[in-house]
Amino acid sequence: MSSLRFTAVEEAFKKKALCVSAPSKFTTDYYGKYVFTKSIMAKYLSKDIMKALNNAIEKGVTLDRSVADDVATGMKMWAMELGATHYTHWFQPLTDGTAEKHDSFIDYAAGPGEAIIEDFSGKLLAQQEPDASSFPSGGIRSTFEARGYTAWDPSSPAFVVDDTLCIPTIFISYTGESLDLKAPLLKSLSVVNKAATAVCRMFDPNVKKVVAYLGWEQEYFLIDEGLYATRPDLMLTGRTLIGHESAKNQQMEDHYFGAVPTRVAAYMKDLEFEAYKFGIPLKTRHNEVAPNQFELAPIFGECNLAVDQNLLVMSIMKKVARRHGFRLLLHEKPFAGINGSGKHNNWSLGTDTGVGLLTPGKTPEENLQFITFLVNILMAVYKNNALLKASIMTAQNAHRLGANEAPPAIVSAFLGSQISSVLDKLENSTSDEAIVMGEKKGLSLGIAHIPEVLLDNTDRNRTSPFAFTGNRFEFRAVGSSANCSSAMATLNAAVAAQLIEFKATVDEKIASGATVQSAIFEVIKEYIKISKPIRFDGNGYSDEWKEEAAKRGLDCETSVPEIYKAFTSEQSVKMFTSTGVLTEKELHARNEVKWETYTKWIQIEARVLGDITMNHIIPLATRYQSFLLDNVSKIKAVFSGEKAEKLSKMDSDLIVEIGERIATIKNAVDDMVDIRRSVNKIEDEYEKAVAYHDKVLPYFDIIRYNTDKLELIVDDEMWTLPKYREMLFIR
Ligand code: ADP
Ligand code: MG
């Protein structure tokens, strides 16, 4: 009866690891082969053009049209040599993921009917006008002016995928508003560069530039393709909406860092070879905590490029998975009861003089600079804790943060005991002497001593959403399927705004007679006090923390539609507009899109859940129930009286339980459909999203609970959907 499930299980068991071999013995032979990197460019572009392009990249100077033409010609040559016949502006709409529309290089040389040539001009490289009316804009583009255009981002190199030259671009409306995730990110990088450089120059006047770095750790699940295909919920929503926990899941923690299963090991190798061709420096790979969950991470890089590489790697991961008979699950919580997937964003700032601003220094001066940045970041996170949470929140990520089995959705910062004690000492010290003192004396305060202490700093807190890990902060709340831009643009902007304020306050103090050192010291002391509520080194998953965080005034909201409101709070609007990262209009528009997206996901999940229960669960449970009924009547035909009662008792109990559960499920599905009909009439996107959260979502739990109970009692042979143990342990 449930042959599809068993066929899938059988096929999955038979699959063997693919044999993959490296394109060449040395990775460096083919690394970055498909990317128009500076060293490749040098072969296709003249020195002058290279210089002009470099200027545009480094200083943000607008490219001259004739330069763009030359770059386009060189780029086309290079791409065609790799087999490209098409080009596309590769952009990042508000829906997450990437969008592309491919155009061929061909054109008529002179006019219709004339000879065909391969053409790619500076104009085509620099700007395009995709038919963008179907991308969400949150009302920025009214229907009569649905135009938007994509504009080349020369700071992220073009690359060739299959037969197509991909040009990273921003996506903006005709009136100049950002319609994507890249444009605000670029603006945030520029403003954090300016603000941080100004602060650095108080310590070292040689600093000309500060770069934000990102190293993402990508978690994911792999599931056999056949099993995936027999689960409508996985296929359509990316997660299992029903399914009882497997008796064994991650209790033994035997999967974490264990030997990688052979089929998966082949996948990982293949994936790395592919990623290297695109210049993505994958460095680590390992099993994660949950069964069939894995992780990969590259060497960190400049934030904008790292974001693009992450988007590219996610699409490569999907493709390569197909080759190995797997499906890739990037959903934040594909399976209940076991760990979900995140994408830790390791973030730091560094100067063009080679100093990591979050790396404790060797001299007291360097350490004052380190502490200055650390404390300003804490201030930024403190002031914007609700906003940072909003920047990572989606219907999917809510299952990792804030939903019923997830840890609370509260942003706090973990520093570890050493750094915490340094801040505590600083806060209570009465003079700035300690910092300006020589190395030896400085020891009494611990400041000069930080580098040594940190070397063996092992206290790591896995429960903190924003943790200091020695030379960087790790923003761990970011979801596995997310475009990192949203989180990174918000963090950069918040830190930039904070650094600007810091510099202004310090300057004021200096103007009224304070020395630079003591002015900085005074402000830092003040900041340490103010930002204290954001510091939390305890267990972020505990219930006590929820209470404590509320007392501290941190944002504890768990409803996703409500969380988005943080984007348009007075504080956020001020922060984003003062830094020029997003306008108030853009913030409101983005929220419209977020609410709409949220509603759509819950809507889709509700429909799929309704379908699965009506088309799979209720029919199969009824079939089993009728089998039991049959058995009861047969027992009663053979036996009578007390004996018959006794022998048929178990069947009768099961029949009743099945009947009750089916009725509960059916009623819940009916009610859910009714409620959906009524809330669908709500026009306002915010109110509709709230209604979906408050009124529709609660039915999911009732339906799932009863369905999962049925899974425990119905004959396994009759169960049509692959079970957790099959999806999680066959590899
Ligand atoms: P872990 O699992 O211990 O956190 P991983 O090696 O999996 O560490 O990932 C750490 C990520 O952080 C890598 O991408 C690494 O390159 C990156 N990283 C290391 N130092 C910095 C830094 N200073 N700034 C930004 N990212 C960094
Ligand atoms: Mg990490």
User: What local confidence, expressed as pLDDT, does residue 440 receive?
Assistant: 36
Top pLDDT among 441 and 7 is at 7
| Residue 109: φ, ψ to 5° | -65, -50
Q: State how far the Cα of 291 lies from the Cα of 255, in Å rounded to an integer.
A: 6
Q: What's the burial of 111, exposed, middle or buried (CB within 10 Å: 0-12/13-18/19+)?
A: exposed
538 close to 389: Cβ distance less than 8 angstroms: no
pLDDT bracket for residue 450 (50, 70, 90):
very low
Burial of 43 (0-12, 13-18, 19+ CB in 10 A): exposed
pLDDT category at 436 given cuts 50, 70, 90 is very low
- Count CB neighbours of 10 within 10 A: 11
**Predicted local distance difference test score (pLDDT) of residue 2:** 54
Q: Which two tokens stand for residue 681?
A: 């009439």
| H or E element in which residue 329 lies | strand 326-329
User: How many Cβ atoms are within 10 Å of 171's Cβ, its own excluded?
Assistant: 25
Q: What would the mean pLDDT of 592-609 be, rounded to a whole number?
A: 97
**Of 580, 602, 616, 624, the residue nearest 713 (C-alpha):** 624
What pLDDT is stored for residue 557 in this prediction? 95
Least confident of 226-230, 392-396, 443-447: 443-447
565-583 pLDDT, tens digit per residue, is 999 999 999 999 999 999 9
Assess whether pLDDT exceeds 50 at residue 289: yes
What average pLDDT does this structure show over 524-535?
A: 97
Protein residue with least CA distance to atom 17, ligand 1? 215
Residue with structure tokens 């996170």? 381
pLDDT of 96 above 90: no
What is the pLDDT at residue 513?
Answer: 95
- The reported pLDDT for the residue numbered 348 is 98
Q: Give the pLDDT score at 133.
A: 67
Tokens 């990437």 map to which residue? 98
| Ligand 1 atom, smallest distance to 348 CA | 24
The answer to whether the Cα torsion of 507, 510, 516, 522 is positive or negative is negative
pLDDT at 493: 98
pLDDT per residue as tens digits for the range 456-485: 454 577 789 999 998 999 999 999 999 999
Which of the pair, 375 or 367, is modelled with greater confidence?
A: 375
Q: Up-side HSE of residue 363: CA atoms within 13 Å toward CB?
A: 6
158 closest CA partner among 300, 270, 57, 283 = 57
Rounded distance, CA 146 to CA 543, Å? 48
Decide the pairing of beta strands 106-108 and 116-118: antiparallel
pLDDT band at residue 145 using 50, 70 and 90 as cut-offs:
low
Q: Which 3 state secondary structure label does DSSP give 613?
A: helix
User: Which of helix, strand or coil describes residue 695?
Assistant: helix
CB atoms within 10 A of CB 282: 19
Q: Which residue has the higher pLDDT, 131 or 142?
A: 131
Provide the pLDDT confidence category of residue 442 given band limits of 50, 70 and 90.
Answer: very low
b/e map of 552-581 (b: 16 or more CB within 10 Å)?
Answer: bebbbbbbbbbbbbbbbbeebbebbbebeb
* Average pLDDT value for residue range 475-500: 97
Going from the Cα of 346 to the center of ligand 1, the distance in angstroms, rounded, reads: 6
At 227, phi and psi to the nearest 5? Answer: -65, -40
pLDDT reading at 286 higher than 60: yes
**Position of tokens 């209570």?**
428
Distance 544 CA to ligand 1 centre (A): 30
| Neighbour tally for 429: CB within 10 Å | 16
Element (H, E) at 14: helix 3-14
The span from the CA of 225 to the CA of 254, in Å, is 24
Q: Which helix (H) or strand (E) holds 349?
A: strand 343-351
216 CA → ligand 1 middle, Å:
7
Percent of the chain topping pLDDT 90:
79
- Of the two residues 128 and 579, the one the predictor is more confident about is 579
With b meaning 16 or more CB within 10 Å and e meaning fewer, what string describes 312-347? bbbebbeebbeebbbbbbbbbbbbbebbbbbbbbbb
Q: Is pLDDT larger for residue 366 or for residue 644?
A: 644
Task: Give the pLDDT confidence score for residue 363 in this predicted structure.
Answer: 73
| Pocket of ligand 1, beta carbon within 6 A | 213, 215, 217, 284, 297-300, 346-348, 356, 471-472
* Mean pLDDT, residues 514-518 taken together: 90
Atom of ligand 1 nearest to the CA of 300: 16
Alpha-carbon span 502 to 513, nearest angstrom: 17
Give percent of the chain above pLDDT 70: 93
Helix ranges, 133-261 (H): 182-200, 225-229, 232-237
> Residue 45 phi/psi, 5° resolution?
-120, 150
How far does residue 715's CA lie from ligand 2's centre (Å)?
43
Give the list of residues 6+ apart from residue 511 with CB closer than 8 angstroms, or none: none
**Distance between CA atoms of 160 and 275, rounded to whole angstroms?**
12
Q: Which of 189, 210, 211, 217 to mutate to test the pocket of ligand 1 (most atoms within 8 A of CB)?
A: 217
Which is the closest atom of ligand 1 to the Cα of 215? Answer: 14
Give mean pLDDT, residues 501-528: 95
Mean pLDDT score of the chain, rounded to an integer? 91
State the pLDDT confidence band at 199, using cuts at 50, 70 and 90. very high
Nearest Cα residue to 583 out of 564, 566, 567, 562: 567
Is the pLDDT score of 696 beyond 80? yes
Residue 272's alpha-carbon distances to 39, 313, 524, in angstroms, are 22, 10, 44
pLDDT band at 451 (very low <50, low <70, confident <90, very high): very low
- The radius of gyration of the chain from alpha carbons, rounded to an integer in Å, stands at 29
The second-level CATH assignment, the architecture, of 597-729 is Up-down Bundle (1.20)
Q: What is the pLDDT of residues 634-684, one digit of tens each?
A: 999 999 999 999 999 999 999 999 999 999 999 999 999 999 999 999 999
For the CA of 299, the nearest atom of ligand 1: 16
Q: What is the pLDDT of residues 239-276, one digit of tens each?
A: 999 999 988 877 766 776 678 889 999 999 999 999 99
CA distance 150 to 137: 14
pLDDT over 90 (residue 525): yes
Choose the residue to mutate in 295, 464, 472 for probing ligand 1, maximizing ligand atoms within 8 Å of C-beta. 472
- If we measure between CA atoms, which residue out of 285, 347, 281 comes closest to residue 309? 281
Q: What is the pLDDT confidence band of residue 431, given thresholds at 50, 70 and 90?
A: low
Q: Assess contact for 12 and 730: CB atoms under 8 A.
A: yes
Q: Which ranges of 512-640 would DSSP assign to H, the alpha helix?
A: 516-530, 543-551, 560-563, 570-579, 584-612, 618-638
Instruction: Return the C-alpha torsion angle 23, 28, 30, 33, nearest 10.
Output: 160
**What is the structure's pLDDT at 449?**
39
Q: Give residue 671's pLDDT.
A: 98
With contact defined as beta carbons under 8 Å apart, do 497 and 572 qualify?
no
How many other CB atoms are found less than 10 A from the CB of residue 305?
18
> Quick one: CA dihedral 615, 618, 619, 620, positive or negative?
positive
Considering only residues 130 and 503, tell me which one the structure prediction assigns the higher pLDDT.
503
Tokens of 301: 């890089």
What is the CA(282)–ligand 1 centre distance, in A? 11
Among the listed ranges 320-329, 357-366, 387-396, which one has the minimum average pLDDT value? 357-366
Does the domain at 31-180 match CATH 3.30.1360.120? Answer given as no
When the candidates are 3.10.400.10, 3.30.590.10, 1.20.1090.10, 3.90.1170.50, the CATH number that belongs to 189-242+255-582 is 3.30.590.10
Q: How far is the CA of 300 from the centre of ligand 1 (A)?
A: 6
DSSP string, 635-691: HHHH--HHHHHHHHHHHHHHHHHHHHHHHHHHHHHHHHHHHHHHHTT--SHHHHHHH
pLDDT at residue 142, rounded to an integer: 57
Cα–ligand 2 centroid distance for 574 (angstroms): 32
Supply the pLDDT for residue 141. Answer: 61
Residue 658 near residue 713, CB atoms below 8 Å: yes
Domain edges within the chain: 31-180, 189-242+255-582, 597-729
pLDDT at 143: 47
**Residues paired with 118 in a beta bridge:** 106
430: pLDDT strictly greater than 80: no
Residue 105 has pLDDT above 70, yes or no: yes
